[in-house]
Amino acid sequence: MLIEVLILTVIAASLSLIALAISGNILQKWFNDDLKNYLFSHKTLFQLSLAVVATTLLSGIYPAIVLSGYKTIHLLKGSFTKTAQKFTFRNALLTFQVVFAIVFIVGMLVVQQQIKYIRDTDKGFEPEQIISFNGIGLYYNGAIGGNFEDFQKRLMNDPSIVSATSATNVPGYGERPPKKEFLSNSAKFDMEHIGIDPRYFETLKIEKIAGEENISLAQILKDSLSNYAVINESAAKSLGLTNPIGAKIAGCDVNFEIIAVVKDSKSYGFENKVAPTVYSYKNECGQRRFKITLMVKTASGMADQAIKIVEKEWQKNELSKDLPLDYRFMDQQYASLHAKQEEMQSAFNIFSIIAVIIAALGLFSMSAFQVTVKRKEMSVRKVLGASINAIFFQLNKPFFKIFGIACLFAIPLAFLMIRSWLNNFAYHIEIQWWYFAFAAVIVFGIILLTISYQAIKGAKENPVDSLRDE
C-alpha cells in the first residue's frame, strides 16, 4: 500500500513542478518575484522530497491502522463499517478543511476592504498629475530667490504645467523627514521637519485649517530676519496650542513664527502614523538639506508635454545638459508603498479558492461514503414511511454538526488573525460582524450544494435495491 501511495505522491509532486514551471510568468505578476529562480534549487527539491515522504507516510499509515482495526468475525459477517466513534478522525480532518475555508474567505474580505479603504480614504494630499524630478536642484542655486526659483517660474509659463514646487522630502518616496527638537513654552518636542518653497501646499493640494500658508516669495525676501513655519494638525495637538497662529516655537537655532496650520497628510502610507511636522521656507534646519527635488503638477492629459518642457529647460543648464532626467509619477510611487498588500490580496483570492475546492472535494467524498454506509438504514426508514426531506436531513445532519463546530473554531481564529494583520496599519478599517457571517453563509451554501447530490440520490433510491438480500 505504501508503494502505491508513494507512486501517486511522486506523480503529484512532478505535476506540481511542471504546473509551476508553465505558470511562472503569471505567478511572477502576482508575487512580484520570479519563482523559476527557486523552483529547481537544491533547497526546494529537498523540501519537496521531505513533503513527498511525509505525505506518503501519513497517507499510507492511517489506512493501514484502520484496516488492522477490523475484527475478523465482523468481516466474515459482512460488517465492514465501524461505529460512529471511529469516524472522529475523519470528521476532524473535514472540520479542519472547513475551518481553513472560512478563515481564508474572511481574510480575503478584510484584505479587499483594507485596500479599498487605502484607495478611497482622503490622504491629505493629491498625488495625481504630479511628476517628481529627482536631483534637479543640485544643478541650480536653491537659495531663496536663486535661479532654481527662476527655473520653476519658466516652467509654469507653459500651459501643460499648473504648478511647480521643490522640497527636501517627497511624499511616498525616499527617507522620512528627520526629527528635530523644538521648544514651546519651555517644553521640548521632537517633530519632523520639511523644507519647502511657497508653492508646496498649493501644488500638493494640502488643505489649510487656519492661517495663511501660501506666503509669497516677496514677503520672505522682505522679512529676511524672520523665520516663518507652518505646522500640521498633529503638531498643533502635540504643542497644545489652542490658537497656534502667531505663536513662537524655537528649533534649529532660530525662532519660528507659526503662520498656518494644515491638515495631516499620510505621505508615507497608511502603516505609519502621521508625525507632528514643521514646514519652513528657509534652510534653517541644516544647510546640507537642499530642496533638490522638483515636483510638477501637470494639466490633465498633458504629462508627456510637461516632461518635454522640463527636459528642454534642463538642457539649457550648462551643468546638466548632458545628464538624463530622473523622474517618477507621484501617484505610482505612492501606490508602491502598498504593493505588498496588493500582492497579498491576489494570494488570498487564490488560496481562498483552493481552500474552498479542497473542502468541497472532502465533503463530496464524505457524503458519498455516508450514503453508502447508511444505505440500508435509509431504505428501512423509507419503508416505514419516512419522507425524502426527513431522509435528506438525516443524511446531512453530521455535516451540519461539522459546519457548526468549524464555525466555533474558525470565527475566533479569523478574528485574531485579521486583528493582528490590521494592527500593522496606523489607519485601518474596523472589523465588522458581516465579514464572518458572509464567509459562513458562503461555506454553508457550498456544503449544501456539495452534499445535496449524494443525499438526494440516496433519499430517492428504491428500498428494494438495498433490502433484496435481507
pLDDT at 176: 86
pLDDT at 275: 93
Tell me what the mean pLDDT of segment 257-265 comes to. 91
The residue that leads in pLDDT, 239 or 42, is 239
Position 129, amino acid: Q
pLDDT per residue as tens digits for the range 97-133: 889 889 999 999 999 999 999 988 989 999 999 999 8
The residue that leads in pLDDT, 236 or 361, is 236
pLDDT over 70 for what percent of the chain? 78
pLDDT per residue as tens digits for the range 29-49: 666 666 666 777 788 788 888
Position 83, amino acid: T
Q: What is the mean pLDDT of the chain?
A: 81
Q: 145: phi > 0 → left, psi -120 to 50 → alpha, else beta; which?
A: left
User: Per-residue pLDDT for 204 more than 90?
Assistant: yes
pLDDT at 66: 65
Q: How far is it, in rounded angstroms, from Cα 46 to Cα 148?
A: 59
Tell me what the mean pLDDT of segment 354-370 comes to. 78
* Predicted structure pTM score: 0.78
- Residue/partner pairs of 387-396 with CB below 8 Å, 24 or more apart: 388/456, 388/459, 388/460, 391/455, 391/458, 391/459, 392/452, 392/455, 392/456, 392/459, 395/367, 395/370, 395/371, 395/451, 395/454, 395/455, 395/458, 395/459, 396/367, 396/451, 396/452, 396/455
pLDDT per residue as tens digits for the range 279-301: 988 877 876 677 888 899 999 88
pLDDT per residue as tens digits for the range 169-179: 888 887 888 89
User: Per-residue pLDDT for 226 more than 90?
Assistant: no
Q: How far is it, in rounded angstroms, from Cα 263 to Cα 210?
A: 9
pLDDT at 150: 83
The region of weakest confidence among 9-13, 45-49, 78-82 is 78-82
Tell me what the mean pLDDT of segment 203-231 comes to. 78
Could you tell me which residues come within 8 angstroms of residue 467 by beta carbon, excluding any fewer than 6 positions away?
A: 376, 379, 380, 383
User: Per-residue pLDDT for 72 more than 70?
Assistant: no
Pairing of strands 130-133, 327-329: antiparallel
pLDDT at 234: 92
Q: How far is it, in rounded angstroms, from Cα 302 to Cα 107?
A: 40
The residue that leads in pLDDT, 78 or 333, is 333
pLDDT at 73: 61
User: Per-residue pLDDT for 391 more than 80?
Assistant: no
Residues in the chain: 470
User: Per-residue pLDDT for 466 more than 60?
Assistant: no
pLDDT at 84: 44
pLDDT category at 85 given cuts 50, 70, 90 is: very low
pLDDT per residue as tens digits for the range 134-147: 888 777 766 666 67
User: Using an 8 Å Cβ cutoff, are 126 and 205 in contact?
Assistant: yes
Q: Which of 70-74, 227-231, 315-319, 458-462 has the highest mean pLDDT?
A: 227-231
Tell me what the mean pLDDT of segment 66-91 comes to. 59
pLDDT category at 386 given cuts 50, 70, 90 is: low
Tell me what the mean pLDDT of segment 234-257 comes to. 89
pLDDT at 214: 67
User: Per-residue pLDDT for 166 more than 60?
Assistant: yes
Q: How far is it, in rounded angstroms, from Cα 361 to Cα 367?
A: 10
Tell me what the mean pLDDT of segment 418-447 comes to. 92
pLDDT at 213: 62
**302 in helix, strand or coil?**
coil
